[in-house]
Amino acid sequence: MFIFAQILGAIALFILVLSFQKNEKQSLLKYQIGSSLFFAAQYLCLQAYSGCLINIACIIRNILFKKYNGKQIPIHYLIFIICIMLVLSLFSYIGPISLLPCIACILYSCSLWQNNLNITRIVEVFSCSLYIIYNIKVFAYVGLISTIIELISALIAIYRFDIKKDYK
């Protein structure tokens, strides 16, 4: 099951890296729905239930947010998603480390709600840092590699879309 979990993590990684090279929120969300599905399966195989449940909440979030196609998402959707994440996190709580996916995803959800991909990319860097710690603790080795690559990909996207354009 451990090796299968790592394979699922590799598939999630591939899809996630593609998502951060999109400069359109709809494309980013579509790819992240797919990657969250594979990450949820990976964490389930590793019995890392916090990571699994939070990724399921992320799928729900991305479907709801995608529905608004660039329009401002009502605040009650954001509050609903945050409540789901908190309940799932409490349900799967086994110690402070199990809260890291929840914190990372709540921050990322708030950044997605802003409709500003510059902010989303910056918050993603911070969220990755929390997931790096979590992945080390739950032995999600491909997830760890994935998160590091995700971090690098987000930094590249920040350079491509946020920094480089300012110097042209």
CA distances (Å), origin 135, targets 66, 68, 73: 27, 32, 31
pLDDT for 68 equals: 82
Q: How far apart are CA 16 and CA 81, in angstroms?
A: 21
The domain ranges of the chain are: 2-167
Phi, psi values for residue 45, rounded to 5°: -65, -30
What's the rounded Cα separation, in Å, for the pair 148 and 48? Answer: 19
CB contact at 8 A, 127 and 108? yes
CB of 102 within 8 A of CB of 89? yes
pLDDT at residue 132, rounded to an integer: 95
pTM of the model: 0.83
Q: Which of 57, 56, 15, 16 is nearest to 37 (CA)?
A: 56
What mean pLDDT is predicted for residues 153-159? 89
**Using one digit for the tens of pLDDT, what is the confidence trace for 28-87?**
889 989 999 999 999 999 999 999 999 999 999 989 888 887 688 899 999 999 999 999
- The string of pLDDT tens digits covering residues 78-113 is 999 999 999 999 999 999 999 999 999 999 999 988
